[in-house]
Structure 1
Amino acid sequence: MIYMLVFVLIAGLLSVITITGAGQIRNNMFLKYNDSYTSADIENPAIIYNMKDFNTDYSYTDEQIIKLCSFLDSWSILIFFGLATLAASLLFYHNKLKQPIEILREASAKISNNDLDFHIPQYNEDEMGQLCRSFESMRAALEDNNRQMWRSIEDRKQLNAAFSHDLRTPLTVLRGYADFLNRYLPEDKISKEKLLDTITTMSIHILRLENYVQIMGEAQKLEDISVAWTQVEVSVFLKQLSSLAEFLAREHSLELSFENQIAEQSLNIDTGMVTRIYENMIANSLRYASQTISVRFEFVKGFFSITVNDDGKGFSSQDLKLATTPFYTSKAEAEESHYGMGLNICKVLAEKQGGSIQLTNNKSGGACVKVSILLHQS
């Protein structure tokens, strides 16, 4: 509106100047060919009205000038106001629209080529600036979705690779025992005790394969779990978690301690996911703790966190790097029933809730596992 107002005023001024100038030129031409009239006579409306009735023989040049003046007198307002509108529009486009449109056009081209590694610069606070900010929000959301998708694909590849790798050992053992039985059983060269021992060993590895398949199925389903926020009373929920830890540790002669540093009365929590994370954290500590396990609950800057400390041997440097990968077990781990999925499940479920897992060693010895979860605000 400001652009149009300024240019309309300019167009009006130019129209007045043009009409006045054209009229003056036309009158001067009339006086040039009609000596009996003066400029004062031309100001008489009756004479001006009848000027067209005079049969004045103008020269060709003067006649063209008079026609031009008449044209300007009739059309100058329309011409100047049209030019003013066009000029205002062009200037407004150049100053207000051209740059953000170019920015959005380049951004659209990059997004169409699946190139999201860029940022749309902040623009003015007008409508186009708001549009650029909305476009930047969309780009950031697409980049985040792509990153999560690729992370999911890579995790799935890693999970499949780990699963395939760990299947080789029991399959190799079963094949070896099957070849052994095929070779010596027909010849009756195997004692009854050896046969029973072989069958028992094969049964153990078959059970191991079944457990692997079950664990693999659960790991694949982790990607399909959706977060379900529920308003819960903090004291009641933490009491349930404490009771769960005591139940899991009932067969271990360990001392459990719990610390609640949450001041809020209620929080929005996916109780199912948090409980599953908590179970795996406690199970991991029970496997390595010597005498004590301590659990701390916190809520800081929107993050609900669970920290589990034990007084075991702690994490090795390799454990700190790989303990959250699927099917990871340390070289010293000899427990056949341990598949190395607990901390990986904690990591996957924590990231689904906008959180993370952190592995460290305590200064006094032992391992420390901390899971932080970004809680949904109601």
Structure 2
Amino acid sequence: MGKVRAAAERRHRLRDAPLRVSFVLYMVVTAIAATIVCAIAVNWMDETRIGIYYKYRTMAEEIPVAEGGHVEYSYTDDAEVYVIYDARGVEIGRGSVPYGEGMLTSDVGVLLIMPEYSPEDEALDQLLRALQALAIPLSYLGGIILCAVIFYRRKLKRPIEILDAASRKIAENDLGFTVEVPCGNELGRLCASFEKMRASLLALNREHWAQMEERRRLNAAFAHDLRTPLTVLRGRVSLLEAELPPGSEASADAKVMQTHIERLVRYADAMSSLQRMEDVEVRRERVALPELAGSLRDTAEILFSGREVNVSCGEGEAFVDAEVVMQVCGNILSNSARYARTRVDIELRATGGALRVAVTDDGGGFTKEGLEKAAAPFYKGEGSGSGHLGLGLNICDILCRRHNGRLVLENVQHGARVTAVFG
């Protein structure tokens, strides 16, 4: 049992070893393996070439060479010439072998005239000779490549996949997972750091959502509790205004009070409306773009009475909640109608599974502050008027996000453009 535990501990230590130590170990093992493979391959090729040589050696013609003598070779245009000398340097014989009919070589005490290799054996011999020359670089290059592949698969691949998947989920704001820590080396510690970051982000998100939910409850409670006293005040002021002499200072004060009470009532209703927008449920259905375009044209012609209305749309359908689309576009058109001078252009396009509705007017465009804050709640730009609460574009932004889309504000050459994207 102790041996098993010790072996397991050794495996864990190797798995958790620093990457630089692991890399050195892999390279050392690779070098040893490459050396062994190279030696085996070279030895096998050498033995094969020797076998081919002895195959033809047995068929060779042997010419004795006297002890102490030697052979000299020369070449002519059509043959290889040999001259045999004795120990005193006196020529004792000569001959020639035409090219293609044999080859000269020597062994102990003899001159060999060997037959030519067959084309197959010649090709094999040349191939083995070339491979012997390349054996060392090929063995070590192959070893390095194999080492890199194994090192990546065993040490890098899994942590990188874990970190890549975690990064994608965090980018998508999906924090309901756990980052696996596959080892104890540098990449394992990086995975552990990712897990700590994910847990911290999840805690912050939960805290943020709790705060948002608490704020929504407070807003709803505020709007509900404010409505009753405002209703009482509105009724009392109406009675008071009816009893006061017309044109008196008290009657004028009562009218001012009535105006401000009505404004507070609208504010309370707006708070309730925002709460309902946050909870709206999207019910998708297939809607033809020309049908949507016709409904928007009808709305725009009422809001932009006396001004030019242009509507363009592509063919096809969109898979959207038509009521949400019409509510968003109605608010955008209502907002645009306050600023447009002579015309408004409405464009509908269904691309990439999303519906885009762009409303462009020839008003003065957004200010720099307006581009940043126009979709914020209760923001009122120049020329909004006292009766405007500044919630129209904020409601559009909320509904677009509920529909997996977004609201885009921008200035164009002669005015402003608001684009609602429904995903």
Measured against the shorter chain, the TM-score band is: 0.5 to 0.7
- Shift of residue 208 of structure 1? 1.5
Distance 2:208 2:174 in 1: 14
- Shift of residue 328 of structure 1? 1.3
Q: Which residue of 1 aligns with 2:90?
A: none
Q: Which residue of 1 aligns with 2:336?
A: 285
Q: Which residue of 2 aligns with 1:209?
A: 264
- Shift of residue 219 of structure 1? 0.9
Q: Structure 2 matches for 1:229-244, cutoff 5 A? A: 229-244=284-299
Q: Percent identity?
A: 26
Distance 2:359 2:16 in 1: 56
Q: Structure 2 matches for 1:187-266, cutoff 5 A? A: 192-194=246-248, 195-249=250-304, 252-260=305-313, 262-263=314-315, 265-266=316-317
- Shift of residue 282 of structure 1? 0.4
The 1:133–1:315 alpha-carbon spacing in structure 2 relative to 1, beyond 3 Å, is: closer
Distance 1:95 1:227 in 2: 54
Q: Structure 2 matches for 1:77-226, cutoff 5 A? A: 139=170, 140-142=173-175, 150=208, 153=211, 192-194=246-248, 195-226=250-281
Higher strand share: 2
Distance 2:210 2:362 in 1: 34
The 1:334–1:234 alpha-carbon spacing in structure 2 relative to 1, beyond 3 Å, is: closer
Amino acid corresponding to residue 344 of structure 2 in structure 1: I
Q: Which residue of 1 aligns with 2:400?
A: 350
Q: Which residue of 2 aligns with 1:371?
A: 420
Q: Which residue of 2 aligns with 1:322?
A: 373
What is the aligned-residue RMSD (CA, Å)? 4.3
Distance 1:213 1:226 in 2: 22
Distance 1:270 1:146 in 2: 32
TM score, norm. by length of structure 2: 0.47
Amino acid corresponding to residue 361 of structure 1 in structure 2: N
Distance 2:203 2:323 in 1: 24
The 1:132–1:323 alpha-carbon spacing in structure 2 relative to 1, beyond 3 Å, is: closer
| 3-state SS in 2 of match to 1:219 | helix
Distance 1:144 1:352 in 2: 21
- Shift of residue 331 of structure 1? 4.5
The 1:289–1:246 alpha-carbon spacing in structure 2 relative to 1, beyond 3 Å, is: same
Q: Is the 8 A contact 2:289 2:348 kept in 1?
A: no
Distance 2:327 2:251 in 1: 39
Q: Structure 2 matches for 1:267-306, cutoff 5 A? A: 267-306=318-357
| 3-state SS in 1 of match to 2:318 | strand
Deviates more, 1:229-238 or 1:338-347: 229-238
The 1:86–1:273 alpha-carbon spacing in structure 2 relative to 1, beyond 3 Å, is: same
The 1:130–1:197 alpha-carbon spacing in structure 2 relative to 1, beyond 3 Å, is: same
| 3-state SS in 2 of match to 1:201 | helix
The 1:124–1:320 alpha-carbon spacing in structure 2 relative to 1, beyond 3 Å, is: same
- Shift of residue 220 of structure 1? 1.9
Residues 320-361 of structure 1: per-residue CA shift (max 9 Å, x gap): 22211111112543342x111111111122222332222222
Distance 1:89 1:148 in 2: 41
Amino acid corresponding to residue 310 of structure 2 in structure 1: S
Distance 2:340 2:214 in 1: 31
The unaligned stretches of length 5 or more in structure 1 are: 1-78, 100-122, 182-189
Distance 1:94 1:271 in 2: 62
Distance 1:310 1:205 in 2: 32
- Shift of residue 92 of structure 1? 6.3
Q: Is the 8 A contact 2:293 2:312 kept in 1?
A: no
The unaligned stretches of length 5 or more in structure 2 are: 19-154, 176-200
| 3-state SS in 2 of match to 1:193 | coil
Residues 7-57 of structure 1: per-residue CA shift (max 9 Å, x gap): xxxxxxxxxxxxxxxxxxxxxxxxxxxxxxxxxxxxxxxxxxxxxxxxxxx
The 1:340–1:152 alpha-carbon spacing in structure 2 relative to 1, beyond 3 Å, is: farther
Distance 2:297 2:7 in 1: 72
The 1:211–1:152 alpha-carbon spacing in structure 2 relative to 1, beyond 3 Å, is: farther
Q: Is the 8 A contact 2:348 2:358 kept in 1?
A: yes
Distance 2:357 2:202 in 1: 26
Q: Which residue of 2 aligns with 1:8?
A: none
- Shift of residue 137 of structure 1? 5.5
- Shift of residue 293 of structure 1? 0.7
Distance 1:253 1:145 in 2: 55
Q: Which residue of 1 aligns with 2:28?
A: none
